[in-house]
Structure 1
Amino acid sequence: MTALDPLIITVAPNGAYKQAREHPALPLTPQAIAREAARCRDAGAAMLHLHIRDADGRHSLDVAGYRAALDAVRAAVGDTLVLQVTSEAAGRYQADEQIAMVRSLRPEAVSVALRELDQPALGEAALAAFFGWLQRERVMTQVILYDAADLARWQRLQAAGTLPDAPWFLLFVLGRYSRIQTSSPRDLLPFLQAHGGPEPWALCAFGAAELACAAAAACFGGHVRVGFENNLLLKDGTLAPDNAALVAQAADAARAIGRPLATADDVRARFLAPR
């Protein structure tokens, strides 16, 4: 990708674990997520990374709960955001349950963590069947990779023909296993050194260096995911008032290097156009 490739900003406004006590503006209900989605769209986001919670505030992959949240967000933003649901296990779900949710919901877009699905209990044949289904159903799929070893495993599965060719979108997670889970732009280097494939990539990062990491991604032709899921702080270390403020920081960084922002329509044309 060139430096002028439109930057895809995804916002992850809540995540699987954070609670309202950690930030008063953390959106947890469908209505709150919908309001935040509209603000983030206006600040420059093209895609929403959606988590939902159950009645006890715990991470949930409930299909009916997802449908309610997606309906609320669509009522607020229409088709001006790509709506990506998470399939994250978060210690509650097994690979077969994660896959069953995605097949039942058939979302426009989904994120899947390779290491969560690539399990002996599932097996490579079932993994291949699921990725083949994602390809055939044209579900925009972002593959989450936590380190360079995950990326190497992804590459081996592709080389073996286990995974079909499709417009996959990779997400590099910076600093997931670092001390006190704080990211640095330097954490991107092992991914860049190992990534030789055609897939576009994005990153997410933890802590106040989220913006510095996002700026590095923008400079190297990648894309970004920001938001309260991974970071509650502005670049100066103060508490962000809302997710839109984090989106606006990333958008400003892109503009500073002359990189345009992608729209939801740009994302769909790139990943969801008929093949």
Structure 2
Amino acid sequence: MHARKTIITCAVTGNLTRPEQHPGLPITPQEIATTSLEAAQAGASVVHIHVRDPQTGRPSMELDLYRQTIELIRAVDKELVINLTTGPGGRFIPSDDDPKIAAPGTTLLPPLRRVEHIAELKPDICTLDLNTMNSGGDVVINTPKNVRRMAAVIREAGVKPEFEIFDSGDLQLALDLIRDGTLEGPGLWTIVTGVKYGFAATPETLFYARNFLPAGATWSAFGIGRSEFPIVAQAWLAGGHVRVGLEDNLYIAKGVLAKSNAELVTRAREIVLGLGGEIARPGEAREQLGLAK
């Protein structure tokens, strides 16, 4: 049994899941806030938030949508740890005729645009993606120079970065950035598994990545799709925290859509408790992560 309690993060809506894939996918600030609060009631102590255009359901980076969502959550729950994404804005789709020309669907943004909402709203945590990789037929690009520029804004805002690593090269980049002082170690890490062309969702991969982390690092892991719940168990057994949510997986069982984020959190909580663990409440998570209460 772990000496510390397990933090469950709920990634409530994400960037890639489409509204037509799940009728309960939260879209508006009110829906995102409500599902975040429901996830907290089910056992999550951290919510990872993207926002969507309320009219189209498409991903958005609008500052006011983030502001509304945070205010709605904080009006009810002051302790729940809020983790905002900085991931959108890194996708490139090459044109068929000239691959150096962006095709429709490209979302590349200047790095400072991707962290404007962090500087303004100062959430508890924000993600910092380290990956440059194939993603389906597209490419996600996070160059060391641009990661450094984003990291500087995050540090200036006093926000704790969560290093998201999708493959071994991402991990080595993060370690370099800790060595040169761009990032503070030992760090808060999330190991992403099950994304095609990234880390496989296997125990071997999880142990490989974990064993490279600096001594004293806090880490969690999650799996995409059908690997979500197996990685909950594997992450806990390997000494990490866990993440679930409609960003990562839509199903509670084979062919059965989850009713809500709260149902996914409930299953993760049951897995951890069944293995002999304990679940951290938001205040306890804040203490573990070194966040203000």
Same fold (TM over 0.5): yes
Judged with a 3 Å threshold, the aligned counterparts in structure 2 of structure 1 residues 192 and 31 are, in CA distance, closer, same or farther, namely same
Matched, 1:190 2:214: no
Task: Tell me whether 1:156 sits opposite 2:176 in the alignment.
Answer: yes
Q: Which of the two has greater helix per residue?
A: 1
Q: Deviations over 1:18-75 (max 9, x none)?
A: 2221111111111212221222112110011111012432212221110011112223
Q: How does 1:24-43 map to 2 (within 5 A)?
A: 24-43=23-42
Q: CA deviation at 1:204?
A: 1.7
Paired position in structure 1 for 2:188: 169
Instruction: Decide which of 108, 130, 134 is 2:153's aligned counterpart.
Output: 130
Q: Is residue 247 of structure 1 aligned with residue 282 of structure 2?
A: no
Farther-moved stretch of structure 1 (181-190 vs 248-257): 181-190
1:70 alignment counterpart: 70
Q: Which residue of 2 aligns with 1:107?
A: 123
Percent identity for Structure 1 against Structure 2: 29
One-letter amino acid matched to 1:174: T
Q: Please report the TM-score for the alignment, with normalisation by the length of structure 2.
A: 0.82
Q: Which secondary structure state, in structure 1, belongs to the residue aligned with residue 164 of structure 2?
A: strand
Q: 1:129 to 1:190 in 2, by over 3 A?
A: same
1:235, CA displacement in angstroms? 4.3
Which amino acid letter does the alignment assign opposite residue 267 of structure 1?
A: A
CA shift for structure 1 position 10: 0.6
Residue-by-residue CA offset, 1:77-99 (whole Å, 9 max, x unaligned): 41241111111125323322113
* Aligned partner of residue 156 in structure 1, secondary structure: helix
Counterparts of 1:221 and 1:113, CA distance in 2: 22
Partner of 1:12: 11
Q: What letter matches 1:192 in structure 2?
A: R
Are 2:290 and 1:257 aligned? no
Counterpart amino acid of 2:67? R
Runs of 4+ with >4 A deviation: none
Kept in 1: contact 2:194–2:227 (CA 8 A): no
* Cα distance, 1:121–1:163 mapped onto 2, change above 3 Å: closer
Contact 2:115–2:150 at 8 Å: present in 1 too?
no
- Taking the aligned partners of 2:194 and 2:67, their CA distance within structure 1 comes to 32
Give ranges in structure 2 of 5+ residues lacking alignment.
92-106, 133-140
Q: Distance in 2 between matches of 1:69 and 1:60?
A: 13
CA drift at 1:149: 1.4
TM-score, normalised to structure 1, is 0.86
Deviation at 1:269, TM superposition (A): 1.6
Aligned length: 266
- Once the two structures are TM-superposed, the CA of residue 120 in structure 1 deviates from its matched residue by 5.7
CA RMSD of aligned residues (A): 2.5
